[in-house]
Amino acid sequence: MEQVNIGMIGGGTVGSGVYHAWQRNSGLMASRLGMRLHLGKVAVKAFDEPRPYEIPASCMTTDWKAVVQDPTTQIVIELVGGVTLARTMVLTALKLGKPVVTANKALLSAHGEELFAAARAGGTNLYYEASVAGGIPIIKVLREGFVGNRFTHIYGIVNGTCNYILTRMKLEGAEFADVLAEAQRLGYAEAEPSLDIDGFDSEHKIGILASLAHGFWVNPRQIYVEGIRQISRQDMQFAQQLGYTIKLLGIVKKVEGAGRKARNGSRAQVSVYPALIPNTHVLSNVNGVFNAVFVRGDVVGDTLFYGRGAGKDATASAVLSDVADAALDLKHRSHGRVPPFVPHERAGAVVPIGETVSRYYVRLSVIDRPGVMARIAAILGAARIGISSIIQPEGHAGESVPLILMIHDAPNAAMAKALARIARLPVVKAPPVMIRVENFD
């Protein structure tokens, strides 16, 4: 039976998970693929670094070049993380014409365009299923399974830490800071959690999906990002009262429009922000550390992909899937997979957040006196922004009381400007809280 030799860079949590999964199921994969996958050298930071699964000392080296540049290494797995040394490692392998399997979403977000160009120049491929949503095969779904579709909407719950925090806030009536501290204690959140809770991890992932869906490379600097720090127990309670759940969503929407910009190519909203979603929608029931991606294609309609989005085992499953594809491509001397980022028509563009249109939930803290609502309504009316409903709950005696507004569709720029004017009113005692509403229309 033919054998393909694999080298791996990174032997920590994920790397040892891949090694363990390969040991467990390499025989199964060989029978399915008709070839043996031999995982030989593994480059590590240190032989004694903590790892959940053992890697034999005879397999390990601290010299990554000894793995990548070894003439017997046919496929390289990159699992070191980061965007500096990892970039050098991946480029080195691609320039040698060796296919690379990576789980590094930050690297792809920062340097994806360069890396895919290097793969083309080297006559090889870059495989990256594990970079988005862990064990959910969403990359292959968009690139190959739905190749006959145009994508109008993609909504992703793609960060397990944020979903865990928001789930507990909803189910337990807890405050954000308390749940975050508990998540850090349990290991669900990092000691420095900003990558997750400020939305940047989701930004990396949703940018990759947006690029696949619309065929042009999405610059991460063009993605609007908003995290979950501002979400309070009050917001969760009022959202529930209104029939909604709050989730951090990565969003890709095709934007229809006229004029010169629209004629020059497809336009898409690419954003990350917390949103109210109806309790009747399936995404509202994606809880805990689980991920889900909702995809709407013009042919297939609505589909949902659900599973574990992170962790050594879910990631290992995705990595081995890519290794199998890379091995089969080598066996059949084929690098003709569906290209990752090819404009479907002409080069597209990301729509600035100010030009996008949403519905909104707004929570104000106001002095409870006659005429307050009239002053707020006047500002919104002058901006041509309509109010669909108002809640002023009883039992909030004191200097200020909460006032909840549900707002009709309005441009983000107009809404931001109106809220800035409302915040300056003497009767408003705290910065307004605004959360967008997604109804999946």
Q: What is the pLDDT of residues 218-247, one digit of tens each?
A: 889 999 999 999 999 999 999 999 999 999
Q: Is 157 exposed, middle or buried (0-12, 13-18, 19+ CB in 10 A)?
A: buried
Task: Name the percent of the chain lying above pLDDT 70.
Answer: 94
Q: How far is CA 292 from CA 44, 156, 212, 316, 398, in A?
A: 32, 6, 17, 18, 42
Q: How far is CA 310 from CA 135, 327, 378, in A?
A: 7, 24, 47
Per the CB < 8 A criterion, the answer to whether 299 and 149 are in contact is: yes
Per the CB < 8 A criterion, the answer to whether 98 and 330 are in contact is: no
Say whether pLDDT at 197 is over 70.
yes
Instruction: Work out the mean pLDDT of the chain and round it to a whole number.
Output: 91
Q: How far apart are CA 255 and CA 270, in angstroms?
A: 10
Give me the amino acid identity at 130.
A
Per the CB < 8 A criterion, the answer to whether 312 and 52 are in contact is: yes
Identify the helix (H) or strand (E) that includes residue 36: strand 36-43
Q: How far apart are CA 157 and CA 61, in angstroms?
A: 37
Per the CB < 8 A criterion, the answer to whether 414 and 356 are in contact is: no
Q: How far is CA 377 from CA 271, 422, 433, in A?
A: 28, 9, 16
What pLDDT score was predicted for residue 397?
59
Output the six-digit token pair for 116: 């895919």
| pTM exceeding 0.85 | yes
Strand, coil or helix: 3: strand
Q: Once rounded to an integer, what is the mean pLDDT over residues 48-75? A: 94
Q: Once rounded to an integer, what is the mean pLDDT over residues 42-53? A: 92
Q: Once rounded to an integer, what is the mean pLDDT over residues 198-227? A: 93
Measured on CA atoms in the order 427, 415, 166, 227, is the torsion positive or negative? negative
What confidence tens digit (pLDDT) does each residue in 306-317 have? 998 888 899 999
End-to-end CA gap in the chain:
52
Beta strands at 3-9 and 36-43: parallel, antiparallel or unpaired: parallel
Say whether pLDDT at 74 is over 80.
yes
Cβ neighbour number for residue 49 with a 10 Å cutoff = 12
Q: Residue 385: which of 434, 324, 314 has the closest Cα?
A: 434
Give me the amino acid identity at 53.
Y
Sheet with strand 75-78: strands edge to edge: 60-61, 36-43, 3-9, 75-78, 100-102, 126-127
Per the CB < 8 A criterion, the answer to whether 357 and 407 are in contact is: no
Structural domains of the chain ordered from first start: 3-127 (3.40.50.720), 139-309+346-350 (3.30.360.10), 354-437 (3.30.70.260)
Active-site annotation holder among 41, 205, 247, 253: 205
Ramachandran angles phi, psi of 233, nearest 5°: -60, -40
**Confidence class of residue 260 from pLDDT cuts 50, 70 and 90?**
very low
Q: Once rounded to an integer, what is the mean pLDDT over residues 84-92? A: 96
Give me the amino acid identity at 409.
D
65 is catalytic: no
What confidence tens digit (pLDDT) does each residue in 337-361 have? 676 666 554 557 899 999 999 999 9
Q: How far apart are CA 148 and CA 150, in angstroms?
A: 7
Output the six-digit token pair for 285: 């029931």
Task: Name the percent of the chain lying above pLDDT 90.
Answer: 78
Q: Once rounded to an integer, what is the mean pLDDT over residues 204-209? A: 94
What pLDDT score was predicted for residue 256?
78
